[in-house]
């Protein structure tokens, strides 16, 4: 005699055990039709789930985030069924839900083509029309293994065999298709209203590049056609923000075949780059970092000593000259230790913070390169803090303060924080790791922000925190990092004289805020859709004349702006004012100063922003004050402007 309590607090009494579907039907036919699953005492279940006792129940529909997830998961099954109908020899493997969609990996003798995708989508629609019931069943491991072995599904057999214990396993059948799955799933294949297969790609079995490559089909599914449309529009919008596209349109940089993965910076792109570097230089100086510069080419023997040669030689560029082998430096830390090692250091010198805008080259695998986000030549805002073990905590905490302040200036209020802890293969005692990991954890906790733990993902020489931002496609881009290193200083012979006059090895903290300038600028371009805030904009002001008559005055205004330290250009071309406004707006120049006879006569300028706002006619000085204020506010969001 279960008493069912619904989310609104109302209750329903039943004389016998009921399914989720029964309860939904008792509430109304509309809900019965919309029900995708149920949440019984917080647990997601199929609509066929039988409730014996009193319980809290929520009917899950497509309006529910969980409902959408279930829909997507079931859509992966729908696709697998369609694939096997069209290509009976294709074997199924796994098909999980991902952000905004799902994928399924198949083993098949050839790759799927875009035409196949269209055919599969059609077959999926047919199965939707067939409105097949989706039925859950439970099999023992042995039964399951023999069933899938009979079906020739070798991968499924391998998956089932790898599930530990001898627990029973749940299966879902819809018509001629059955799949191992935890569920829950939609009650029938008639529930799909809006889905689309988006792409095919290879993917390694079990994510291991030593394994064979499977065929992965990506799809997306939504509760309504409207939602699907909105999603596809969102993708289109994101494409417009792509830094590679904007970089070309705005003339910031280019790539060419002769230098794969190595950007050529153009004047406007380089302006942004330099403004950022100037900013970082002053920020770091204010935080007691000492800037240094170390060589590009360093004899291979140093990389052998540091241990990089044995681990990363495939990814290092090298140069032979005078019968010596040099590596083009892939990182700066060994060189920074060389600087530390010059002269005897005392504990009084610690912490010693060395910083370098270090130009590095790495032979990244060809398939991993991606615009400015992953390149083969880049500059890091690199820094190494030499300190004692006891100083780790405060150094990390200070660093994070600095990092957040910098990110706020660049307009990023949301940062993804991840702590990577000790991997299996590592150096150093467990005590050492305990302390270092604790110091990083404490620093993270002190921020009051959410952070993720990545157990075992730390470097072999120490744990690390990574600070990531999202690009326009939602891809997470790691920018900043701080890593504890117990290994390299000792390996390269760094030491200091302690209070008891013994020689000790310093701990080294590798740290970067922006990470690589290249990637950071890529993220910035996408974040601002190319419309850089005034402090970063390559050109802050353009002065436009209406006719040739005002040319001279425009030049004076331009000069005057430049003398005040602003980046200004004038556009005196023999074109209509509308044309020039359009062009410079598309070039995303923040301020346009329009000058006609009126302005020359009254010695003023008329100000238009790139957003199209008319700020009116004013004296040049008044405009300079406005611009100065804009520049001083950096890219801070409104909330952060007042407080800084």
State the nearest-atom distance from the C-beta of 313 to RNA, in Å. Answer: 8
State the nearest-atom distance from the C-beta of 5 to RNA, in Å. Answer: 41
State the nearest-atom distance from the C-beta of 476 to RNA, in Å. Answer: 9
Select from 236, 574, 639, 643 the one that contacts RNA (CB under 7 A).
Answer: 574
The answer to whether residue 12 is catalytic is no
Binding residues for RNA restricted to 513-552, rule: CB under 7 A = 546-549
Between the alpha carbon of residue 215 and those of residues 180, 199, 233, 316, the distances in Å are 19, 11, 27, 32
Catalytic residue among 77, 308, 376, 464: 464
Residue 448 touches RNA, criterion: CB under 7 A? no
**β-bridge mates for residue 172, sequence order:** 136, 179
The answer to whether residue 370 is catalytic is no
Binding residues for RNA restricted to 362-381, rule: CB under 7 A = 362-371, 374
Which tokens belong to 629? Answer: 């204020």
Residue 577 touches RNA, criterion: CB under 7 A? yes
Q: 208 or 320, CB closer to RNA?
A: 208
Q: What angle do CA 56, 57, 60 make, to 5 degrees?
A: 150
Pair type for strands 476-485 and 496-497: unpaired
Whether 275 contacts 409, CB under 8 Å: no
State the nearest-atom distance from the C-beta of 163 to RNA, in Å. Answer: 20
State the nearest-atom distance from the C-beta of 74 to RNA, in Å. Answer: 21
Rounded CA-CA distance 317/385 in Å is 27
Binding residues for RNA restricted to 213-272, rule: CB under 7 A = 213, 215-216, 218, 244, 248, 255, 257, 260-261
Residues in the chain: 644
Q: 9 or 612, CB closer to RNA?
A: 612
Binding residues for RNA restricted to 9-68, rule: CB under 7 A = none
Q: Exposure pattern of 81-110 as b/e (b: 16+ CB <10 Å)?
A: bbbbbebeebbbbbbebeebbbbbbbbeee
Neighbouring CB atoms inside 10 A of 1's CB total 10
Binding residues for RNA restricted to 189-208, rule: CB under 7 A = 199-204, 207-208
Residue 427 touches RNA, criterion: CB under 7 A? no
Q: 240 or 293, CB closer to RNA?
A: 240
The answer to whether residue 380 is catalytic is yes
Residue 582 touches RNA, criterion: CB under 7 A? yes
The answer to whether residue 382 is catalytic is yes
Residue 331 touches RNA, criterion: CB under 7 A? yes
Is 310 in a helix, a strand, or coil?
helix
The 610-629 site mask, x for binding RNA (CB under 7 A), equals x-x-x---------------
Between the alpha carbon of residue 234 and those of residues 192, 230, 231, the distances in Å are 21, 6, 5
Select from 122, 475, 603, 641 the one that contacts RNA (CB under 7 A).
Answer: 475
Q: What angle do CA 448, 451, 440 make, to 5 degrees?
A: 80
State the nearest-atom distance from the C-beta of 458 to RNA, in Å. Answer: 9
From the list 9-17, 445-453, 501-509, 584-592, the region that binds RNA by CB under 7 A is: 584-592
From the list 30-38, 272-280, 405-413, 598-606, the region that binds RNA by CB under 7 A is: 598-606
Q: 127 or 328, CB closer to RNA?
A: 328
Is 290 in a helix, a strand, or coil?
strand
φ/ψ of 610, rounded to 5, equals -70, -15
The answer to whether residue 384 is catalytic is yes
Whether 176 contacts 85, CB under 8 Å: yes
Q: 77 or 608, CB closer to RNA?
A: 608
State the nearest-atom distance from the C-beta of 280 to RNA, in Å. Answer: 20
Select from 578, 638, 642, 643 the one that contacts RNA (CB under 7 A).
Answer: 578
The answer to whether residue 477 is catalytic is no
Is 477 in a helix, a strand, or coil?
strand
Q: 39 or 353, CB closer to RNA?
A: 353
Rounded CA-CA distance 130/190 in Å is 7
Contact residues for 557 (Cβ-Cβ < 8 A; gap 6+): 543, 568, 570, 593, 595, 605, 620
Q: 128 or 492, CB closer to RNA?
A: 492
Residue 82 touches RNA, criterion: CB under 7 A? no
State the nearest-atom distance from the C-beta of 544 to RNA, in Å. Answer: 9
Catalytic residue among 345, 361, 362, 511: 362
Q: Which helix (H) or strand (E) holds 406?
A: helix 392-409
Catalytic residue among 384, 441, 527, 610: 384
State the nearest-atom distance from the C-beta of 243 to RNA, in Å. Answer: 10
Q: DSSP E strands: which ranges in 61-188?
A: 91-92, 97-98, 101-107, 134-139, 169-174, 177-180
Neighbouring CB atoms inside 10 A of 396's CB total 25
From the list 29-37, 277-285, 360-368, 444-452, the region that binds RNA by CB under 7 A is: 360-368
Binding residues for RNA restricted to 302-321, rule: CB under 7 A = 308, 311-312, 315-316
Q: 46 or 382, CB closer to RNA?
A: 382
Rounded CA-CA distance 441/393 in Å is 9
Catalytic residue among 64, 105, 179, 382: 382
State the nearest-atom distance from the C-beta of 369 to RNA, in Å. Answer: 5
The answer to whether residue 510 is catalytic is yes
Catalytic residue among 39, 156, 329, 333: 333
User: How many residues in the shown chain lie near RNA by CB under 7 A?
Assistant: 71
Q: 3 or 453, CB closer to RNA?
A: 453
Torsion over CA of 511, 513, 519 and 520, rounded to 10 degrees? -170
State the nearest-atom distance from the C-beta of 211 to RNA, in Å. Answer: 9
Residue 109 touches RNA, criterion: CB under 7 A? no
Torsion over CA of 595, 596, 599 and 604, rounded to 10 degrees? 0
Contact residues for 200 (Cβ-Cβ < 8 A; gap 6+): 111, 112, 113, 114, 116, 117, 215, 216, 217, 218
The set of catalytic residues is 333, 362, 380, 382, 384, 464, 510
């Amino acid at each position: 005699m279960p008493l069912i309590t619904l989310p609104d607090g109302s209750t329903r009494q039943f004389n016998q055990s009921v399914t989720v579907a029964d309860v939904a039907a008792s509430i109304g036919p509309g809900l019965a039709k919309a029900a995708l699953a149920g949440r019984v005492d917080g647990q997601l279940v199929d609509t066929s789930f039988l409730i014996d006792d009193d319980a809290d129940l929520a009917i899950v529909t497509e309006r529910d985030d969980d409902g959408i997830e279930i829909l997507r998961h079931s859509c992966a099954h729908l696709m697998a069924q369609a694939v096997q109908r069209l290509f009976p020899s294709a074997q199924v493997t796994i098909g999980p839900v991902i952000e905004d969609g799902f994928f399924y990996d198949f083993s098949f003798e050839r790759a799927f083509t875009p035409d196949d995708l269209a055919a599969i989508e059609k077959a999926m629609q047919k199965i939707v029309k067939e409105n097949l019931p989706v039925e859950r069943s439970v099999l023992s491991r042995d039964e399951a293994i023999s069933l899938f072995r009979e079906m020739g599904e070798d991968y499924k057999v391998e998956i089932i065999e790898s599930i530990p214990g001898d627990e029973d396993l749940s299966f879902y059948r819809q018509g001629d298709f059955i799949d191992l799955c935890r569920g829950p799933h939609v009650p029938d294949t008639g529930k799909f209203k809006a889905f689309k297969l988006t792409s095919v790609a290879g993917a390694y079995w079990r994510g291991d590049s030593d394994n064979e490559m499977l065929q992965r089909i990506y799809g997306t599914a939504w509760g309504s056609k409207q939602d699907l449309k909105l999603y596809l529009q969102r993708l289109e919008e994101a494409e417009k923000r792509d830094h590679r596209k904007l970089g070309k349109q705005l003339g910031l940089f280019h790539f060419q075949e002769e230098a794969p993965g190595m950007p050529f910076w153009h004047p406007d792109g380089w302006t942004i780059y330099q403004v950022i570097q100037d900013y970082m230089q002053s920020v770091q100086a204010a935080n007691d970092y000492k800037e240094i510069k170390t060589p590009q080419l360093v004899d291979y023997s140093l990389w052998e000593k540091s241990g990089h040669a044995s681990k990363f030689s495939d990814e290092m560029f090298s140069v032979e000259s005078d019968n010596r082998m040099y590596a083009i430096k892939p990182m700066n830390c060994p060189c920074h230790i060389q600087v530390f090692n010059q002269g005897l250091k005392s504990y009084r010198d610690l912490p010693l913070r060395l910083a370098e805008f270090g130009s590095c080259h790495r032979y990244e695998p060809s398939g991993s390169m991606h615009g400015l986000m992953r390149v083969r030549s880049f500059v890091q805002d690199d820094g190494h803090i030499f300190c004692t073990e006891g100083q780790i905590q405060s150094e990390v905490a200070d660093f994070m303060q600095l990092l957040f302040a910098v990110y706020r200036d660049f307009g990023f209020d949301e940062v993804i924080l991840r702590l990577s802890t000790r991997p299996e293969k590592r150096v150093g005692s467990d005590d050492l790791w305990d302390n270092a990991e604790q110091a990083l954890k404490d620093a993270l906790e002190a921020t009051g922000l959410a952070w993720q733990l990545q157990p075992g993902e730390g470097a072999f020489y120490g744990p690390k925190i990574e600070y990531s931002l999202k690009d326009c496609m939602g891809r997470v881009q790691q920018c900043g990092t701080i890593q504890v290193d117990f290994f390299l200083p000792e390996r390269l012979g760094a030491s200091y004289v302690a209070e008891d006059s013994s020689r000790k090895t310093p701990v080294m903290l590798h740290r970067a805020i922006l990470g690589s300038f290249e990637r950071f600028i890529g993220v910035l371009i996408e974040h601002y859709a190319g419309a850089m805030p005034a402090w970063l904009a390559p050109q802050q002001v353009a002065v436009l004349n209406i006719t040739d008559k005002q040319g001279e005055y425009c030049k004076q205004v331009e000069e005057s702006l430049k003398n005040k330290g602003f980046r200004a250009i004038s556009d005196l071309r023999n074109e209509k004012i509308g044309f020039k406004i359009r062009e410079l707006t598309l070039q995303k120049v923040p301020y346009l100063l329009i000058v006609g006879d009126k302005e020359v006569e009254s010695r003023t300028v008329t100000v238009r922003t790139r957003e199209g706002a008319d700020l009116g006619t004013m004296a040049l000085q008044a405009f300079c004050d406005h611009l100065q204020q804009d520049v001083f506010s950096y890219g801070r969001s409104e909330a952060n402007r007042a407080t800084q």
